[in-house]
Structures are given as C-alpha cells and as structure tokens.
Amino acid sequence: MVNLGETFPNFLAKTTVGDIMFHEWLKDSWGILFSHPADFTPVCTTELARVVQLQPEFVKRNVKVIALSCDSVESHQKWCNDIKVYAGCSGDVFPYPIIADENRELATELQMIDPDEKDAQGIPLTARAVFIVDPNKKMRLSILYPATTGRNFDEIVRVVDSLQLCDKHKVATPVDWKPGQDVMVQPSVPDTEVKKLFPSLTVVALPSGKGYIRKTPQP
Ligand code: BEZ
C-alpha cells in the first residue's frame, strides 16, 4: 500500500515495448500508471482508446502513461490494433506501453485487485486503478474504480493541471475547476502576506465572517 506523498515503488515489468524499470523509464517526467480488468473487453477498450486520443495532452504536460493488466504481452499487442481503430488513430506505433502482469505480482503489491471480478479460472482480475506519480517519484493521486464503471480521463488530465499549478503557486483549485478559472489561496498563507502574493485577491463574505474563501485569478 502506497500513501499520498510516499515514494512510489520502483519495479521491473514486462511490457509491450520490452522490460521497463519504472523509475528509470519515467526519468524526469510525471507518470500515470493505470490498470484495467482484461484485454478485449468493452469498457477497457473505450478507456485505453481515450488515453490514445489524449496522448498529445499528456505529452504537453510532460506526463508518461503506462497501462497494466494480467494478460500477456502477445494478447496486449493484438488488442492494441482494436484500440487504435476504436480511437480513430492512424499511427503505426501504439503511443504508450502496457504492462503484462500475468502472475499478478505488481497488481497485488499495489492493491489493484478486485476480488469480485474473476477470470475464467476464477482468479481475481485487476480493478480500474489510477496512480499519478510526480517527477520526484512521489505518489500524488490514487483512485480505484470497479470493473463496471469506466473512468473519465479528462478528469485525470484536469488533476494533472491542478497538481502542476499548485506545486508552483500557493493555491488550490475549487470544485469543477477548469484551467483559466479562478483558484483559491491555500489556507496556510497568512492574511498578512496574502495581498503581497496575490494582489488581485477577493475575499468571499460568508455568515461566519472568517474570510477563508480567498479567490484569485489563476497565476
Ligand atoms: C469491460 O471492460 O467491459 C469489463 C471488464 C470486466 C468486467 C466488466 C466489464
């Protein structure tokens, strides 16, 4: 189990582009590791296709993406053709690697297993986990969805934008925030400093009179 802010484990994995040591493969990039239950299944195909379509957005943000399931490299490679066609992608090369965790070592270590979803042999499959890792290899986000609910990868891009912005400035992003919209000053910034750091600040008046909602245009 890895907690937010802890170093994400380094691991050696068999993938569609050969063996990868995770930290060395990431180099100075951000990373998104996401798992799915199985190859050649409908919801998984839509998810991996969306990640193909979003690849330019990940590149723009210096994010490397890697998928994982318990099927073999050969199965992943055949499935990649379906995913590319479903995504409407004409390129020859599949834009991100897929880990073949056939013995479930990594899925078990990272607690990606869904005990309710089993393969034909009755062995539990991986759930829909997502981990975001920063360039210091710290885990910054962890989510776990059940097999029957496809994820929203636009939301994952939005989280990356929020993380990268809030690493640079003492701000936090509010509900449903989209890049370009106002952000909140972090509660740790004292009122004595806030005007210096954020001259365009507005404080929202609320019944408590505590002045804790301090909005500013996105730095
Ligand atoms: C799917 O990807 O469609 C799926 C996989 C496992 C269980 C349910 C749905």
Task: Specify the number of domains making up the chain.
Answer: 2
Q: What H or E segment, with its residue span, contains residue 140?
A: strand 139-145
Q: With contact defined as beta carbons under 8 Å apart, do 216 and 171 qualify?
A: yes
Cross-strand partners of 216: 183
pLDDT digits (tens, 9 = 90+) for 94-136: 999 999 999 999 999 999 998 888 888 898 889 999 999 999 9
Q: How many CB atoms lie within 10 A of CB 26?
A: 21
Q: Which atom of ligand 1 is nearest to the CA of 45?
A: 2
Q: Are residues 66 and 140 in the same domain?
A: yes
Reference 71, options 98, 52, 49; nearest CA is 98
Q: What is the structure's pLDDT at 174?
A: 98
In degrees and rounded to multiples of 5, residue 159 shows phi and psi of -65, -40
Q: Is the pLDDT of residue 43 over 90?
A: yes
Give the CATH number of the domain where residue 105 resides: 3.40.30.10
Looking at 124, 151, 178, which one is the last position of a domain?
Answer: 151
SS3 of residue 45 by DSSP: helix
Q: What is the structure's pLDDT at 114?
A: 86
Q: Are residues 147 and 177 in the same domain?
A: no
pLDDT digits (tens, 9 = 90+) for 180-198: 999 999 999 999 999 999 9
The verdict on residue 100 lying in a domain is yes
Q: What is the structure's pLDDT at 91?
A: 86
- Residue 89 known to be catalytic: no
Distance 73 CA to ligand 1 centre (A): 19
Q: What is the average pLDDT across 131-157?
A: 97
Q: Are residues 129 and 186 in the same domain?
A: no
Q: Are residues 198 and 140 in the same domain?
A: no
High-pLDDT (> 70) share of the chain, %: 100
Distance 170 CA to ligand 1 centre (A): 40
